[in-house]
Amino acid sequence: MKALAARRHHRLAPLVLLLLALLVTGGLYAALAPSPATAASTPTADDVATGEKLFQASCATCHGLNAQGTQDAPSLIGVGAASVDFQVSTGRMPMQANGPQVIAKPPQFAEEETRQLAAYVASLGPGPAIPTDEMVDPSKGDPANGMALFRTNCAMCHNAVGAGGALSKGKYAPDLRETSPVAIYEAMQTGPQSMPVFNDATLTPEEKRDIIAYVDEQRAGSPGGAQLGALGPVSEGLWVWVLGMGLLIGCAVWIGAKSS
Amino acid sequence: MSTHNHPTDVTVTGATDGVPAVFTDPGIPHHRDRQSDLHPAAEKRAERQVTLLFGLSVLGTIGFLVAYFTVPPGETVASMRLSNLLLGLGLFLAMFAIGIAAVHWAKSLMNAHEKAEDRHELRSSDTTRTAAVEMLREGTEDSSIGRRGVLKGAMVSALALAPLSVAVPLIGEVGEDWDVSKFKSTMWRKGTRLAIDPSGRPIRAADVTIGSVVHVIPENLSEAEHPLDEKAKAVVLLVRLDPRDLKEAEDRKGWSYEGIVAYSKICTHVGCPVSLYEQQTHHLLCPCHQSTFDVADGAKVVFGPANRPLPQLPIEVDDEGYLVAQSDFTEPIGPSYWERLR
Amino acid sequence: MTTTTSPAAKAAGGTADYLDQRTGLGAAVKGLSRKIFPDHWSFLLGEIALYSFIVILISGVFLTLFFVPSMAETDYEGPWAAMNGVEMSEAFASTLRLSFEVRGGLLMRQIHHWAALLFMASIVTHMMRVFFTGAFRKPRELNWLIGFTLMILGLAAGFSGYSLPDDVLSGNGLRITDGVVRSIPIIGSYLSYFIFGGEFPGQDLIPRLFIVHVLLVPAIILALVGLHLFLVFLQKHTQYPGGGRTNTNVVGFPLFPIYVAKAGGFFFIVFGVIALMAATMTINPVWNYGPYDPSPVGAGAQPDWYMLFLEGSLRLMPGQGTEWVIGGYTLSLNVLIPAVVVPGILFTALAAYPFIEQFVTGDKREHHVLDRPRNVPFRTATGVAILTAFFILVLAGSNDLIATQFDLSINDITWTFRVLFFVAPVLAFWITKRICLGLQRKDRELVLHGHETGRIVRFAHGEYIEVHRPLDDQERWLRVSQEPNRPLEIEPAEDSRGVRRKGYRKDVLRQRLSRIFFEDRVEPVTPAELAAAHSHGEHDALGSVHQTHGGANVPELDQAGTDGVPTVTAAGGGRRLAEPETPQQGPGADARNH
């Protein structure tokens, strides 16, 4: 420790610190890398009944006692189980604070409860159902076709690899790389918030699965090394200044300094 | 400096007596010996370090070669990344170590005494200048160009015109047919079906539910001579709104179909594909420069650098229920240009 | 010369003799090998640019051997699953092949691109160094222009290369370029046809960009780099002020061996750092963007960093009411102003600055000793203001990423930058100038009073003083050797016979500008002041109050240091305007006494 204390004023100390900080950041990032999630099964009449109770308790204040909608929130009749599952399992609903958009957070309901809520809302009117495991299995999709579709339909908001992007007035398209395949499917199907709807005619279920396969493939990272957030030329520019010019100016200072 | 006067005696004028008007240059600072100049052991150590660094570079090169032969990029992202990483680190070591070694050598072992070298005025001396002028004068005299005006004129004209033989065909050919009126039309015609980009499936009006957005190309795009050129002008964004939300100008009432509207996807600012459709606000945002258009209100600009609304494609439904164009766009699509309205 | 006997030495001697007899090489070696270069880290910034350019050439040659500059359509088959069977141009397909199938190809591509970004970054940094130290002054104005041209060519090289893979991201950049070109009055549409060989995107662009990128621009860059370096050799390098450094000498180390080792070594360091970046960080992953297609676009659609200011400029411009139709012709000011006028002004100001400054100072002498930036507050502040404007535009070009990374509204950010673009440079100018003047005052204080030692001494009669250690000769010289810049004094409008003088108006303009440049200033300490302070200094050290002595000009530094600028009002008879050499009573002392 003494040696460390003695050297902390060394002129290379900031450089060493910077390198350490970079290593730690990289390590943390690697440690906190994403892990996948899973989907659900078929509902029963019991589920609908329990779901209704849950709805009365947690959702009816805004969506109305019979989910008919109020001034504060839209009607849920006919939105289907997919919509409920998406909103609740990603923690967007129940909503906690008003903002430019409803944000994802840790889910407030257990998986079971989410399924029951979805069953209740689905019983109110026909709407898109929660997709089966088969429908969202990335290994069954064609990533090449998925990429073509993603580019045309999704990349303008979600970025070329799904890293997310800005919309107007503080809204944004979220990062998809940690979103579960089921949630991606449901989002396309139901068009939550700013997102448009991609129904089965405009993007067939197979095409949706292809898109999921493409997004899933992004988890493998990039062959070129660190992705720098996959944000494109701006982050590359930042790194060339901070790291490239930083290191080289550091070297230049060393070269120009008189040796002792 | 001077003696320590009592403060009250001091005035600036008083102090100038015997003080020079300007400071004198103290000269090049004294050379200070380095450790390696003073101690043979330090010198030996530095030499060893430099040698070691060169050795490190050799190891880097060997590492690069080993990686090249034994770690193929393969078929997976991970194997490609590994190949790239190992090759890169080998190259880094090979290069960086040479650099550090050379600089360390210069800094620790080479003679470190600063030297001064005189500068000389860059300007040539007056005699040189006079001689140069004289030479030019003599040369001009020898060529007798001054006395032969017609010859001079002929030479200048010949030299001035000769480049035309390269420039004319170049300019003639470089812009293809130079027919800039092509900006004004796209391949949309009456009855052209709207198809989904990129699959090319035609779209039924019933397929487009409220809140959906479809990226559209003309169904016959692939038959075009240069599909990309045509696509660059013809791409359209199809949106269905609740007809109650839709504000339509009187002369455009017939251009939509039950709340389905079609707008050119090419921004009227500088031509990016405008395609961020926000379902709730009906705003269409361009990711390049953030021009924002209100699809519910004739695609008028509500924010950003664009000036004009996006051109609307008049659509209708054919006998089989497919969406088709009523005609081409009624104005040039994309960014403004000088003769756009001509 | 008969002492060498080893065979290697003999061979070398033989070769040298052979070459010298045919080229007279000896003279060049004699003239150049021990040429002196000054040592300073900031003199290596230009070298980073040179070396990254060499790395670009090396990796570029590698890439050209595998890249196919063609827009012909092909179907991709290869290891990249997300592209299998996708229709794309030969250019894009060959980029994928050289990235994934050529061993070391991806590394070379990433080296090439990182080196290109570094090339521009180091050019800009080098230019800043030259600007802030006044290295562009006579006789180096021409070299400034050459360097400026190199920067523009660097932009052209970067932009043309960035577009070669024919991917969606760069394709949208080209589409924006097309939009900007079309906005140019009268010839815009034709210029667009000229570039694209017809309508955008056409069939010709990639081959055309290729030849621009691999031959035209690099050849000119190479020639100009040669000229740039030749002038550095011919004019000899500038040096920072310091003991023994004069306008008529250059102090440093000989080219051979010190700079052969240091500068040569630095090349390998630069190459190494670029290789490290290419090994560990992805750059321009075109496989994520996909082959060009006019329909898609990705969020975060931005050019490489050196073009971001243009992107930002386009983003900031409000569109309402800025497109005019005059006699049926359309004038798109919403594009012309941000994409042509704003960069035009920024770049012209940069290129012309040496000439503007020379006009203002009327200084025709050669300058080989650099300015410390603080000693020329107006120039330093101008440079910082230009950089600030540039930086605001760069940030504006990244506004969507700022919005997502910091949870802000893109509309608010845009509005903020619209305001900041005008306000921030002015603020930056003002703040920088204050900082420079403050640093100059600090220098004066140091020279006059020495370093604080932190040692407190108590006198017998109870007073405490802090002991100040005077500066040594070298430290002092650094702080007093600069020439004071003062507003110009001009000849009166009429001569002694009352005849109006020619060129008076020009002189008045020059004088006005000169006042803007140099009105606020802090002058270096003169020996007389130092002598006064020394005796006065004892008194100061004893903790007494400053005294002003009957009408004499004693620099009241403490006061000047606290209440801001020692503003000199040049209006009022011009008595402070340049007067030759009267240091003790002259303008210098007067200028500070406010």
pLDDT of residue A8: 62
| Length in residues, chain A | 260
Q: CB B212 to CB A202 under 8 A?
A: yes
Last residue of a domain, one of A204, A220, A236: A220
Residue C294 DSSP SS3: coil
Asked if residue A153 belongs to a domain, the reply is yes
pLDDT of residue C103: 94
Chain C hits for A166, Cβ within 8 Å: 299, 399-401, 403-404, 410
Based on the fold, state whether residues A189 and A138 are members of the same structural domain.
Answer: yes
Chain C hits for B273, Cβ within 8 Å: 172, 294-297
| Alpha carbon distance A248, A243 (integer Å) | 8
Chain C hits for B303, Cβ within 8 Å: 411, 414
Distance from CA of C418 to the nearest CA of B (A): 11
- Interface A-C: count of C-beta contacts within 8 A: 199
| Alpha carbon distance B181, B203 (integer Å) | 31
Give the Cβ contact number of residue C337 at 10 Å.
Answer: 18
- Element holding C332 (H helix, E strand): strand C329-332
pLDDT of residue A41: 53
CA-based R_g, chain C, Å: 30
Which pLDDT tens digit goes with each residue over B43-98? 999 999 999 999 999 999 999 999 999 999 999 999 999 999 999 999 999 999 99
- Residue numbers in chain C where pLDDT is lower than 70: 1-4, 536-594
Q: Between helices A246-256 and C260-280, what is the axis angle to 10°?
A: 160
Short-list C175, C113, C127, C167, CA closest to C305 = C113
Helical spans, DSSP H, in chain A: 2-7, 13-31, 45-58, 60-63, 80-89, 111-124, 143-153, 155-158, 181-190, 205-217, 233-239, 246-256
| Alpha carbon distance A154, A161 (integer Å) | 10
Asked if residue A229 belongs to a domain, the reply is no
Helical spans, DSSP H, in C245-306: 260-280, 286-289
| Alpha carbon distance C548, C551 (integer Å) | 8
Nearest CB neighbour to A223, from listed B81, B99, B204 = B81
Which pLDDT tens digit goes with each residue over C448-465? 999 988 888 888 888 888
Based on the fold, state whether residues A181 and A110 are members of the same structural domain.
Answer: no
Chain A hits for C86, Cβ within 8 Å: 144, 147-148
Range of the domain at A189: 134-220
- Distance in Å from the first CA to the final CA of chain C: 70
C residues 315..334 contacting B (CB < 8 A): 315-323, 325, 328-332, 334
| Alpha carbon distance C244, C473 (integer Å) | 11
Read off the DSSP letter of residue B275: -
Beta-carbon contacts of C583 under 8 Å, excluding residues fewer than 6 positions away, are B21, B22, C526, C527, C528
Q: For testing the chain A interface, which of C103, C281, C295 should be mutated: the one with the most A CBs within 10 Å? A: C281
C544 close contact with B: CB closer than 8 A: yes
Token duo for residue C370: 């650099």
The residues with which B193 forms a beta bridge, in sequence order, are: B324
Q: CB B308 to CB C323 under 8 A?
A: yes
Beta-carbon contacts of B337 under 8 Å, excluding residues fewer than 6 positions away, are B180, B183, C182, C183, C188, C189, C192, C330, C332
Q: What is the residue extent of each domain of chain B?
A: 9-118+125-171, 183-325
| Alpha carbon distance A44, A55 (integer Å) | 16
Distance from CA of A174 to the nearest CA of B (A): 13
Q: CB B180 to CB C193 under 8 A?
A: yes
Nearest CB neighbour to B197, from listed A152, A156, A251 = A152
ipTM: 0.92
pLDDT of residue C381: 96
In Å, what is the CA distance from C204 to each residue of B100, C215, C303?
46, 17, 22
| Alpha carbon distance B164, B170 (integer Å) | 9
| Alpha carbon distance C505, C489 (integer Å) | 14
In Å, what is the CA distance from C109 to each residue of A243, A245, B78, C278, C292?
19, 19, 18, 8, 19
- Residues C158, C120 contacting (CB under 8 angstroms): yes
| Mean per-residue pLDDT pooled into runs of 10, chain A (260 residues) | 60 69 65 45 79 90 88 88 92 85 90 91 90 93 93 94 92 92 95 92 94 93 93 95 97 91
Could you tell me if residue C548 is left (phi over 0), alpha (psi between -120 and 50 degrees) or otherwise beta? beta
Token duo for residue C338: 């941000």
- Residues C359, C276 contacting (CB under 8 angstroms): no
| Alpha carbon distance A40, C204 (integer Å) | 53
- Residues A145, A138 contacting (CB under 8 angstroms): no
Q: CB B270 to CB C100 under 8 A?
A: no
Token duo for residue A90: 């990603």
- Distance in Å from the first CA to the final CA of chain A: 26
- Element holding C473 (H helix, E strand): helix C473-480
A194 close contact with B: CB closer than 8 A: yes
pLDDT of residue A203: 94
Token duo for residue B190: 């009456």
A258 close contact with B: CB closer than 8 A: yes
C30 close contact with B: CB closer than 8 A: no
Chain B hits for C369, Cβ within 8 Å: none
pLDDT of residue C582: 38
Based on the fold, state whether residues A138 and A117 are members of the same structural domain.
Answer: no
Residue B176 DSSP SS3: coil
A99 close contact with B: CB closer than 8 A: no
- Residues C456, C465 contacting (CB under 8 angstroms): yes
Cis amide leading into C241 (omega within 30): no
Which pLDDT tens digit goes with each residue over C79-101? 998 899 999 999 999 999 999 99
| One-letter amino acid for residue C437 of the chain | L
Chain B hits for A100, Cβ within 8 Å: none
| Alpha carbon distance A39, C543 (integer Å) | 82
pLDDT of residue C300: 85
Beta-carbon contacts of C352 under 8 Å, excluding residues fewer than 6 positions away, are none
Domain count for chain A: 2
| Alpha carbon distance B238, C38 (integer Å) | 66
pTM: predicted TM-score of the whole model, two decimal places? 0.90
Q: CB C536 to CB B7 under 8 A?
A: yes
Strands A165-166 and C451-458: unpaired
Beta-carbon contacts of A97 under 8 Å, excluding residues fewer than 6 positions away, are none
The residues with which B293 forms a beta bridge, in sequence order, are: B284, B301
pLDDT of residue B19: 82
Distance from CA of C291 to the nearest CA of A (A): 10
In this structure, what is the dihedral angle of CA atoms A96, A99, A104, A109, given to the nearest 10 degrees? 20
Q: CB B178 to CB C477 under 8 A?
A: no
pLDDT of residue A34: 44
- Residues C343, C397 contacting (CB under 8 angstroms): no
pLDDT of residue C493: 81
Q: CB A223 to CB B212 under 8 A?
A: no
- Residues C172, C201 contacting (CB under 8 angstroms): no
Q: CB A217 to CB C82 under 8 A?
A: yes
Chain C hits for B101, Cβ within 8 Å: 265
Asked if residue A182 belongs to a domain, the reply is yes
Cis amide leading into B29 (omega within 30): no
Residue C160 has, within 13 A of its CA and on its CB side, a CA count of 23
Report DSSP letters for A169-216, one per residue.
GG-EEPP-TTS-HHHHHHHHHH--TTSPB--TTTS-HHHHHHHHHHHH
Q: CB C114 to CB A244 under 8 A?
A: yes
Which pLDDT tens digit goes with each residue over A141-154? 999 999 999 999 99
| Mean per-residue pLDDT pooled into runs of 10, chain B (342 residues) | 37 55 91 91 96 98 97 94 97 98 95 92 94 96 89 95 96 92 94 93 93 94 93 95 92 93 96 92 94 95 95 96 96 94 89
- Residues A237, C117 contacting (CB under 8 angstroms): yes
Torsion sign (Cα): A69, A75, A77, A79: negative
The residues with which B262 forms a beta bridge, in sequence order, are: B238
| One-letter amino acid for residue B49 of the chain | Q
Beta-carbon contacts of A239 under 8 Å, excluding residues fewer than 6 positions away, are A228, C277, C281
Distance from CA of A86 to the nearest CA of C (A): 22
Nearest CB neighbour to A224, from listed C121, C282, C289 = C282
Read off the DSSP letter of residue C327: T
Q: Looking at the domain B183-325, which fold is it? A: Rieske Iron-sulfur Protein (2.102.10)
Chain A hits for C411, Cβ within 8 Å: 168-169
- Residues A173, A164 contacting (CB under 8 angstroms): yes
Chain C hits for B175, Cβ within 8 Å: 190, 193-194, 197-198
